[in-house]
């Protein structure tokens, strides 16, 4: 490789903090630019994070021919629009989760990636972490027996007043924000799409849910249950129940350098230690591999499409108060 890939941040979103370190650490990437809706905010941000170029509009960043990859960290309702614009401007895109808010948006994004030959991936960082790979390996080894049930949760107390997460039209609601993780994790473990979902929600003042409780049924007989929410203390876990053993993952979505899994097997409890690299480095390296070597991303667009389809079915189920077949 002659030089590093130049990355540009689309917005000054809070989550950028998580990407800046890996972008500076990877041998294959350089953080070159940030764009904001105002020049002063872009300038301030660029000074704070030592980013060489600052743009006062998203269009200006896309017009910079030195930028190879765009990180789309905009609010959820802008993911499709700006990802497609970035792809059409000749950029590869790492787009934050959820990839989009409808199947037609996902399909339009995939079509744009196809037509332009650029790489597009959803930034589900946990999917690249060693702990996630280990969990999948344990399940696939058969030690749990026949899979029966996956239980999971992801909640926190949302205090960011005026944030897009409260506004339905901006892709607000806990199922889009954090519920997408348990749904993604369960689908990954089962290795297929659910055939039926049933969900309940508590609606927040902005129209999106402030807590969601859902269950999925898969054709192979596995069931998955989760809850997500903005009104409870921070908690997250996954528990995978088989006929012979249970695997507990106390920190499934934001694993760190040192992690522990718990395997309940044969009447005893075994702690399994799993190391890992910095959480957000994996998605950066995965995208570089996809660009350089054509390696399929761990989070394929088909996979992202399946997650969005499940989320939409859950929302429809909660609205109609009935199970929905997918």
The residue with tokens 């390996």 is: 137
CB of 253 vs ligand NAP, minimal distance in Å? 8
CB of 129 vs ligand NAP, minimal distance in Å? 12
Beta strand 147-157 with 231-242: parallel, antiparallel or unpaired?
A: antiparallel
Can you tell me the distance from the alpha carbon of 11 to that of 108, in angstroms, rounded to the nearest whole number? Answer: 22
Q: Please return the burial class of 227, using the count of CB atoms within 10 Å of its CB with bins 0-12, 13-18 and 19+.
A: buried
Q: Which is nearer to ligand NAP, 92 or 97 (CB)?
A: 97
Farthest CA pair distance, the chain = 62
Q: Which is nearer to ligand NAP, 188 or 324 (CB)?
A: 188
- Which residues of this protein are in contact with ligand NAP, per CB under 6 A? 11-15, 18, 36-37, 41, 73-76, 78, 96-97, 123, 125, 163-164, 177
CB of 76 vs ligand NAP, minimal distance in Å? 5
CB of 100 vs ligand NAP, minimal distance in Å? 10
Q: Which is nearer to ligand NAP, 139 or 153 (CB)?
A: 153
Stated as kind and residue range, the H or E segment containing 151 is strand 147-157
CB of 211 vs ligand NAP, minimal distance in Å? 17
CB 186 within 8 A of CB 226: yes
DSSP string, 251-292: S-SS--SEEEEEEEETTEEEEEEEE---TTHHHHHHHHHHHH
CB 239 within 8 A of CB 261: no
Can you tell me the distance from the alpha carbon of 318 to that of 313, in angstroms, rounded to the nearest whole number? Answer: 9
CB of 18 vs ligand NAP, minimal distance in Å? 6
Can you tell me the distance from the alpha carbon of 239 to that of 103, in angstroms, rounded to the nearest whole number? Answer: 29
Q: Which is nearer to ligand NAP, 130 or 143 (CB)?
A: 130
Q: Which is nearer to ligand NAP, 55 or 198 (CB)?
A: 55
């Amino acid at each position: 490789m002659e030089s590093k890939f130049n990355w540009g941040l689309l917005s000054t979103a809070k989550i950028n903090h998580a990407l800046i370190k890996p972008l500076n650490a990877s041998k294959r990437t350089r953080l070159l630019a940030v764009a904001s809706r105002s020049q002063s905010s872009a300038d301030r941000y660029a000074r704070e994070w030592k980013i060489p170029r600052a743009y006062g509009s998203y269009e200006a960043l896309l017009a910079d021919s030195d930028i190879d990859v765009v990180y789309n960290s905009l609010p959820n309702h802008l993911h499709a629009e700006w990802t497609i614009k970035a792809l059409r401007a000749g950029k590869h895109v790492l787009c934050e989760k959820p990839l989009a808010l409808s199947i037609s948006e996902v399909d339009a994004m995939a079509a744009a990636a196809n037509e332009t030959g650029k790489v597009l991936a959803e930034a589900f960082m946990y999917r690249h972490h060693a702990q996630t790979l280990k969990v999948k390996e344990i399940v696939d080894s058969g030690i749990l027996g026949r899979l029966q049930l996956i239980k999971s949760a992801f909640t926190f107390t949302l205090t960011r007043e005026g944030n897009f997460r409260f506004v339905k039209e901006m892709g607000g609601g806990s199922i889009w924000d954090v519920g997408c993780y348990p749904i993604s994790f369960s689908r990954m473990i089962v290795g297929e799409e659910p055939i039926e979902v049933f969900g309940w929600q508590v609606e927040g003042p902005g129209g999106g849910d402030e807590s969601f409780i859902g269950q999925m049924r898969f054709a192979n007989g596995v069931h998955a249950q989760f809850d997500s929410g903005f009104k409870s203390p921070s908690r997250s876990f996954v528990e995978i129940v088989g006929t012979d053993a249970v695997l507990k993952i106390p920190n499934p979505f934001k694993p760190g350098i040192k992690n522990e899994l718990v395997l309940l097997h044969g009447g005893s409890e075994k702690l399994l230690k799993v190391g890992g690299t910095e959480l957000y480095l994996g998605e950066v390296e995965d995208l570089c591999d996809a660009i350089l070597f054509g390696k399929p991303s761990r989070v394929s667009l088909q996979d992202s499409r399946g997650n969005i389809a499940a989320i939409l079915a859950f929302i429809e189920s909660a609205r109609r108060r009935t199970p929905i077949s997918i």
